[in-house]
Amino acid sequence: MTGALVIGAGPAGLMAAQELALAGHSVTVAEAKPSVARKFLMAGKSGLNLTNDAPMDKVRAAFGAAAPALRPMLDAFGPDQIRHWAEDLGQPLFTGSTGRVFPVAMKASPLLRAWLSRLDRLGVRIVTRWRWQGWDAAGAVLFDTPDGRQSLSPQVTILACGGASWARLGSDGAWAAHLPAPLLAPFAPANMGLCVDWSDPMARHFGSPLKGIALHAGDRISRGEIVISATGLEGGGLYALSAALRAGAALTLDLAPDLSAEQLRQRLSRPRGKASLSNHLRKTLKLDPAKQALLMEFGRPLPADLAPLLKALPIRHSGPRPIDEAISTAGGLRFEALDANLMLLSRPGTFAAGEMLDWEAPTGGYLLTGCLATGHWAGRAAAVWLRPPA
């Protein structure tokens, strides 16, 4: 074939295909699953947090160690450009109180339908049930398809194969077998829950949210909400600490982050009378049953001075939930294996984008921002590779 091949029909792959087609190139998108953008649609079930209306320094910082490599891509196609792109597809947006940007429709399907319609008008061809199987000795790209083994010889290829979580939606990390191991950082769960072996009394609190807390791990602090589940702890408050927790940092919970230890002591010193400790904690600190349950679960035997424990309750856990349950993954194709245009140094004409690259970011709009930004960057770079400027 002539023209461009994009492997993977998630947000990064579709964005790369769009940029190639807008530049006038023939584009084929090959997707392993029976339909496209399955993880994107799943994200839309909770409202489709497209991006975050934060200052750009905060947006860049959300990508941690990968921020320097991603900076030009985020600057070229960051929150402002993503908002314009979605609105240009006929999707009105709104910004929540925390800066998260959502479609007014609060789902992904209308945006995806409009996007696929645009790609169709641009002449982009999408084939499904095509699973990438690497390259043959002559450099042709191999696929297992419903019609048997197929090989393509595109002028340029963009890999947008996703991470290694939510395998049933297509992100199974199987593509790693087709690239040399030194190019890859090991996969690890990101935006993940933690396993906790609860005592029996905790069962009544499964499903309870924990609000108005602060979580500490290493030098990171998160003020997000978490939820007590049957298997442990989940939620955005934890997700922001994924990298520190994977590195072995201890997790502590501040149950009253807006009060100092001395303020807690003053409130707890109020006459208790015949009230139980539970009622005293509720009346003096507004400590709800779920927070009190955690205090009993991890703090017993309770010390006479509760203030330090309330400010830094140690959370005993047995590590992250399984990688396939994680919202996203760390690890993947190292930036050291790529040039500044996201082209593989070892394979000229082959670019990469999206979650298969070795970056991670917390939830809050940053994940989709990273996927769209790298897809946009790789698509434009591949278009230049196909037709260099005069």
At residue 34's C-alpha, the angle toward residues 374 and 7, to 5°, is 30
Q: What is the pTM of this model?
A: 0.94
Question: Among residues of the chain, what percentage have pLDDT more than 70?
Answer: 99
Residue 1 pLDDT > 70 = no
| The predicted structure's pLDDT at residue 222 | 96
Q: What span, in angstroms and rounded, lies between the C-alpha atoms of 197 and 318?
A: 8
Residue 390 pLDDT > 70 = no
CB 10 within 8 A of CB 164: no
Q: What span, in angstroms and rounded, lies between the C-alpha atoms of 93 and 183?
A: 39
CB 66 within 8 A of CB 359: yes
What are 185's strand-pairing partners? 332
CB 255 within 8 A of CB 310: yes
b/e map 228-242, b = 16+ CB within 10 Å: bbebbbbbbbbbbbb
If residue 95 lies in a helix (H) or strand (E), which one and from where to where? strand 93-95
List, for residues 336-383, the tens digit of each pLDDT value.
Answer: 999 999 999 999 999 999 999 999 999 999 999 999 999 999 999 999
Q: Check residue 273 and give left, alpha or beta (phi > 0: left; psi -120 to 50: alpha).
A: left
List, for residues 102-147, the tens digit of each pLDDT value.
Answer: 999 999 999 999 999 999 999 999 999 999 999 999 999 999 999 9
Question: Among residues of the chain, what percentage have pLDDT more than 90?
Answer: 95
List, for residues 252-273, the tens digit of each pLDDT value.
Answer: 999 999 999 999 999 999 998 8
List, for residues 67-112, the tens digit of each pLDDT value.
Answer: 999 999 999 999 999 999 999 999 999 999 999 999 999 999 999 9
If residue 216 lies in a helix (H) or strand (E), which one and from where to where? strand 214-217
Q: What's the pLDDT band for 384 if we cut at 50, 70, 90?
A: very high
Q: What span, in angstroms and rounded, lies between the C-alpha atoms of 340 and 191?
A: 27
CB 333 within 8 A of CB 345: no
Q: What's the pLDDT band for 389 if we cut at 50, 70, 90?
A: low
DSSP conformation letters of 48-92: ---EE---HHHHHHTTGGGHHHHHHHHHHSSHHHHHHHHHHTT--
19 to 87, 215, 375: CA distances (angstroms):
17, 41, 9
Alpha-carbon torsion, ordered 200, 229, 242, 250, to 10 deg: -20
To the nearest 10 degrees (0 to 180), the angle between helices 67-76 and 366-386 is: 80
- State the CB neighbour count (10 A cutoff) for residue 89: 16
Average pLDDT over residues 153-164: 97
Q: What span, in angstroms and rounded, lies between the C-alpha atoms of 65 and 57?
A: 14
Which one-letter amino acid corresponds to residue 175?
W
- Dihedral sign computed on CA atoms, order 343, 158, 14, 388: positive
Average pLDDT over residues 282-301: 96
Q: What span, in angstroms and rounded, lies between the C-alpha atoms of 42 and 39?
A: 5
| Six-digit token string for 90 | 């006929």
